[in-house]
Amino acid sequence: MPPDTSGKAPARRFDDQERQALYDIINNRRDVRNEFRPDPVAPATLRRILAAAHAAPSVGLTQPWDFLLIRDPRRRADVHAAFLRANAEAEEMFEGHRKALYRSLKLEGILTSPLNICVTCDRNRGGKVVLGRTHDKNMDLYSTVCAVQNLWLAARAEGVGIGWVSIFRPQDLRDLLGIPDHVEIVAYLCAGYIDELYTKPELEARDWRARLKLESVVHEEGWPTRQPRDAADAARCE
Ligand SMILES: Cc1cc2c(cc1C)N(C[C@H](O)[C@H](O)[C@H](O)COP(=O)(O)O)c1[nH]c(=O)[nH]c(=O)c1N2
């Protein structure tokens, strides 16, 4: 027989147990702030998690991401100081009881996790004209977010928690990590082994915001008829 040069093979089928394992990982993933163990993530485990991230889909196969591993406590202390500055500004944007509730939330694990990972998007990767990015330049950013989600799920499968911290002035992070202008910061993640987890989003458990009903965000054939915003929001909640 001539060699098969199509690059295709029969699509692998996954049995019920394998399928369920994937859904379990998705549904048991949490944003982690408090629950990190201090011991370092084993190098082989970290490599598998990063390989999962690197296996993400990307526009034109550009793979625009880089993963900056930040372990040095002094560097993380500087990042934490940048978070504190931004968080003080953020707090002022909320009013009344929301402000008090915001203040009581723990929104990062920069120092308590053993590893921070900054995921960036190189906006020049792939050259000037990129297949699939010709009419919407943001596609490279969306690709990078796909990598972040792969990383988050693979980490969960490995017993490693991930917490996303976005309360920074981006320029602060840029300066601290030496990130050039043509590279966008997509995610700053805290990572470490976990023993305990919230069973639902912490923001839901703390009454910050409710989970929306699936039916309220699925629409046939286009955008649903307009409703006043408050009524639409209330109708969406479970
Ligand atoms: C882009 C982006 C940015 C942030 C987040 C997430 C994402 C996707 N989340 C986590 C977020 O609050 C959390 O995902 C939701 O509350 C849902 O909870 P679970 O992830 O299901 O636990 C988050 N959490 C936090 O404590 N501080 C933060 O700055 C951020 N920033």
Assembly ipTM: 0.99
- Whether 114 and 220 share a structural domain: no
pLDDT band at 225 (very low <50, low <70, confident <90, very high): confident
DSSP conformational letter for 167:
-
pLDDT in tens, 171-196: 999 999 999 999 999 999 999 999 99
Element (H, E) at 121: strand 115-122
CA of 90 to the centre of ligand 1 (A): 15
Percent of the chain residues past pLDDT 70, beyond the cut: 93
The span from the CA of 62 to the CA of 201, in Å, is: 33
Q: What are the pLDDT digits (tens) for 10-43?
A: 999 999 999 999 999 999 999 999 889 999 999 9
Residue 20 belongs to a domain:
no
Same-domain check for residues 234 and 167: no
**140 and 222 share one domain:** no
Count of structural domains, the chain: 2
- Phi, psi of 210, rounded to the nearest 5 degrees: -95, 155
pLDDT tens digits for 72-105?
999 999 999 999 999 999 999 999 999 999 999 9
Ligand 1 midpoint to CA 9 (Å): 38
Is the domain of 192 the same as that of 215? no
In a domain, residue 140? The reply is yes
For 65, the domain range is 25-200
Q: Is the CB–ligand 1 distance for residue 110 below 6 Å?
A: no
Question: In this structure, are 149 and 219 located in the same domain?
Answer: no
Task: Verify that 54 and 84 share a domain, yes or no.
Answer: yes
Is the CA virtual torsion 60, 47, 75, 116 positive or negative?
A: positive
CATH number for position 125: 3.40.109.10
Evaluate: CB of 210 within 6 angstroms of ligand 1: no
pLDDT of residue 238: 59
Atom 28 of ligand 1 has which residue's CA nearest to it? 165
Ligand 1 centroid vs 98 CA: distance in angstroms? 17
Ligand 1 neighbour 203 (Cβ under 6 A)? yes
For atom 8 of ligand 1, the residue with the nearest CA is 164
Question: Are residues 128 and 236 both part of a single domain?
Answer: no
Please name the residue that has the structure tokens 């054939």.
Answer: 221
In the reported structure, the alpha carbon of residue 26 is separated from the centroid of ligand 1 by a whole-number distance in angstroms of: 15
Query: Half-sphere exposure of 189 toward its Cβ, with a 13 Å CA cutoff?
Result: 27
Q: Based on the domain organization, do 233 and 162 belong to the same domain?
A: no
CA distance 111 to 31: 16
Provide the pLDDT for residue 5: 74
